[in-house]
C-alpha cells in the first residue's frame, strides 16, 4: 500500500508541476491558486529557515498544520496561549488556499511564517522537516499525511493531533487502512472530541488518547469578546427587521436553499456569505434572488441602503465576527462532507441550521439535542424552522439561553492541550 500511495502522490506531483508552468503569476480560481502557491515552495522555506538561523534565532519552533481556514480557528487559540507561555517561533501550514490566504490576511502577529503544505512525497517531506527542524508539531483534526508524519517520527519530533474524531467507518478500519493506522503511531498524543473516538483508537491499538473539549469554542468565544464592527454592515442591519446570516454557503444546494428563503421571507434581512467569492459564483447567486442585492465590496459611506434587504459579503475574514449581527443563522457545507463551523454563530447565542451531513463532527448532534441547532435536508425544512422561530419568540429566547450555557460548559480545552505542547518545549 505504501508503494501504491507513493506512486500516486508522485504522479499527481508531476502533473501539477507541468500545470503550474502554464499558470499566470496571480491566478484567480481556487485550484490554480492551490498549484501556484506551491511553486518553489521548498526553496522559500529553506531560505527563510536558513536566514533565521544565520541571524541567531535559536528559539524553539512549533509547526502547526491545518487543512483550511476552518481548522485554523482551532489552531489560533492554541498558538496565542503558547506564545503567552514562552518565547517560540510558529510556522503555520495549510493544504488549501482558503486557509493560507485567510491566515495571511489575519495573522494578528501570532505566526512567524505561513506556507502551503508541500505535497506528501518522500523527498518533499524530508526536505520540509529538515528545513524546519521543529521542536514540536501540532496537527489539526484529520490531516494524516503518511510521509510527512514518518519524517517527524524519524527526526524524533513530538507530534500531537488535536480535535480528532475517529469513527468506526473511517479509513483506519478499511481494507486500505494499514498506511493510515501506521500514521496514527507517529502521534505522541491524540486529543479526541468524544469517548467513541477514544474507544475506536484503543481498538486500533493506540492508547495515548485523551478526551478533551474543542479549542474552537475558545477561539470563537475570543472572537465574540473582541470589539469589532463594520460600519457598512452596521448601517445595513439598522432598523426593526431581524437579520439572518448564512455563512460559508458552499455548494449549489446551499445557494438554492438560501436564495429561496431570502425570496420568501421579505420581513427579514439576509447577509449571505459565500465560501467561493469569485465573480462568477457571486453573479450566479444574484441571479437566483428576486430583488437586487448589495455587495459589501462595492458599498461605502454614501451607499443608499433604503429598502435594501440582502447583502452579499464578497470578501474573506469577516464571517466569525459578523454573526454578532444575526438573529438566526445557517452554516453551509452540510450537503457535503465539509460542514463549516457551527460553533461560530452559537457563541453569540444564535440558533443555527445546517445540512444533513453531520457525521464528521460532534457538535451539530449536541446542538440538535439541546434545541439550539436544526438539521435540514430541504428548503421546505429550512423554511419551517425559520417560521417556527419567527412566530414563537419564546422558542428563540430558549434556544439563545441554551446556546450560551452550552458554550460556557465547553470552553477551556486550550489550556490542557497547550500544557502538552509546552511540556515538549520547556520541560520542567
pLDDT tens column, 2-53: 888 888 899 988 888 888 787 777 777 888 888 888 889 999 999 999 999 9
pLDDT of residue 36: 85
pLDDT of residue 377: 96
Lowest-pLDDT range of 30-39, 139-148, 273-282: 30-39
- Whether pLDDT at 223 is above 90: no
Structure letter (DSSP) for residue 25: S
pLDDT of residue 103: 84
DSSP letters of 87-156? Answer: --EEEEEESSHHHHHHHHHT-TT--SEEEEPPP--HHHHHHHHHHH--SEEEEETT---HHHHHHHHHTT
Q: What cell was used for 57?
A: 534565532
CA nearest neighbour of 57 among 29, 89, 31, 86: 89
Are β-strands 269-274 and 294-295 bridged in parallel, bridged antiparallel, or unpaired?
A: unpaired
Summarised one tens digit per residue, pLDDT across range 382-422 is 999 999 999 998 998 999 999 999 998 888 889 989 999 99
Q: Which residue has the higher pLDDT, 44 or 76?
A: 44
Q: In what order do the strands lie in the sheet with 373-375?
A: 294-295, 310-312, 269-274, 243-249, 328-331, 352-354, 373-375
Q: What cell was used for 37?
A: 502557491
CB atoms within 10 A of CB 148: 29
- Average confidence (pLDDT) over 265-273: 97
Give the global pTM: 0.76
pLDDT of residue 425: 82
pLDDT of residue 428: 58
Q: At what angle do helices 97-105 and 69-85 cross, to 10 degrees?
A: 40
Confidence of residue 247 (pLDDT cuts 50, 70, 90): very high
- Whether pLDDT at 157 is above 90: yes
- Mean pLDDT rounded to a whole number for the chain: 91
- Whether pLDDT at 123 is above 80: yes
Summarised one tens digit per residue, pLDDT across range 284-342 is 999 999 999 999 999 999 999 999 999 999 988 899 999 999 999 999 999 998 898 89
In percent, how much of the chain has pLDDT > 90?
Answer: 61
- Whether pLDDT at 164 is above 70: yes
pLDDT of residue 60: 94
- Whether pLDDT at 181 is above 70: yes
Summarised one tens digit per residue, pLDDT across range 198-212 is 999 999 988 889 988
The angle subtended at Cα 357 by Cα 355 and Cα 362, nearest 5°, is 105
Summarised one tens digit per residue, pLDDT across range 169-179 is 888 988 888 89
pLDDT of residue 1: 63
pLDDT of residue 46: 96
- Average confidence (pLDDT) over 52-70: 92
- Whether pLDDT at 375 is above 90: yes
pLDDT of residue 374: 97
pLDDT of residue 20: 77
- Average confidence (pLDDT) over 147-164: 95
- Whether pLDDT at 214 is above 90: no
Amino acid at each position: 500500500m505504501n508503494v501504491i500511495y507513493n506512486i500516486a502522490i508522485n504522479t499527481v506531483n508531476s502533473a501539477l508541476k507541468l500545470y503550474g508552468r502554464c499558470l499566470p503569476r496571480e491566478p484567480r480560481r481556487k485550484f490554480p491558486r492551490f498549484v501556484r502557491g506551491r511553486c518553489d515552495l521548498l526553496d522559500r522555506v529553506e531560505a527563510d529557515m536558513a536566514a533565521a538561523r544565520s541571524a541567531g534565532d535559536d528559539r524553539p519552533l512549533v509547526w502547526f498544520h491545518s487543512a483550511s481556514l476552518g481548522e485554523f480557528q482551532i489552531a489560533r487559540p492554541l498558538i496565542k496561549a503558547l506564545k503567552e507561555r514562552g518565547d517560540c517561533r510558529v510556522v503555520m501550514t495549510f493544504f488549501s488556499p482558503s486557509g493560507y490566504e485567510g491566515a495571511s490576511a489575519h495573522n494578528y502577529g501570532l505566526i512567524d511564517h505561513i506556507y502551503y503544505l508541500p505535497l506528501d512525497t518522500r523527498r518533499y517531506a524530508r526536505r520540509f522537516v529538515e528545513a524546519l527542524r521543529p521542536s514540536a508539531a501540532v496537527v489539526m483534526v484529520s490531516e494524516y499525511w503518511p510521509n510527512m508524519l514518518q519524517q517527524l517520527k524519524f527526526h524524533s519530533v513530538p507530534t500531537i493531533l488535536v480535535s480528532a474524531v475517529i469513527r468506526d467507518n473511517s479509513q483506519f478500519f478499511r481494507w486500505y487502512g494499514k498506511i493510515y493506522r501506521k500514521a496514527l503511531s507517529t502521534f505522541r498524543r491524540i486529543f479526541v472530541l468524544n469517548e467513541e473516538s477514544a474507544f475506536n483508537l484503543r481498538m486500533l491499538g493506540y492508547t495515548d488518547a485523551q478526551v478533551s473539549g474543542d479549542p474552537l469554542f475558545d477561539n470563537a468565544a475570543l472572537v465574540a469578546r473582541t470589539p469589532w464592527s463594520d460600519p457598512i454592515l452596521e448601517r445595513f442591519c439598522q432598523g426593526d427587521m431581524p437579520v439572518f446570516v448564512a455563512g460559508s454557503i458552499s455548494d449549489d444546494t446551499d445557494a438554492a436553499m438560501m436564495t429561496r428563503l431570502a425570496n420568501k421571507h421579505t420581513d427579514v434581512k439576509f447577509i449571505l456569505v459565500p465560501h467561493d467569492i469569485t465573480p462568477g459564483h457571486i453573479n450566479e447567486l444574484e441571479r437566483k434572488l428576486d430583488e437586487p442585492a448589495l455587495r459589501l465590496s462595492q458599498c461605502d459611506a454614501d451607499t443608499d441602503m433604503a429598502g435594501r434587504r440582502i447583502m452579499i459579503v464578497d470578501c474573506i475574514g469577516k464571517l466569525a465576527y459578523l454573526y454578532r449581527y444575526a438573529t438566526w443563522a445557517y452554516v453551509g457545507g452540510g450537503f457535503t462532507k465539509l460542514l463549516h463551523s457551527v460553533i461560530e454563530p452559537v457563541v453569540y447565542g444564535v440558533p443555527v441550521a445546517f445540512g444533513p451531513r453531520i457525521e464528521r463532527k460532534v457538535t451539530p448532534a449536541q446542538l440538535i439535542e439541546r434545541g439550539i441547532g436544526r438539521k435540514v435536508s430541504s428548503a421546505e425544512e429550512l423554511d419551517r424552522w425559520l417560521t417556527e422561530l419567527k412566530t414563537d419568540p419564546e422558542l428563540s429566547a430558549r434556544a439563545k439561553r441554551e446556546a450560551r450555557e452550552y458554550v460556557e460548559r465547553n470552553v477551556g480545552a486550550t489550556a490542557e492541550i497547550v500544557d502538552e505542547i509546552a511540556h515538549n518545549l520547556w520541560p520542567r
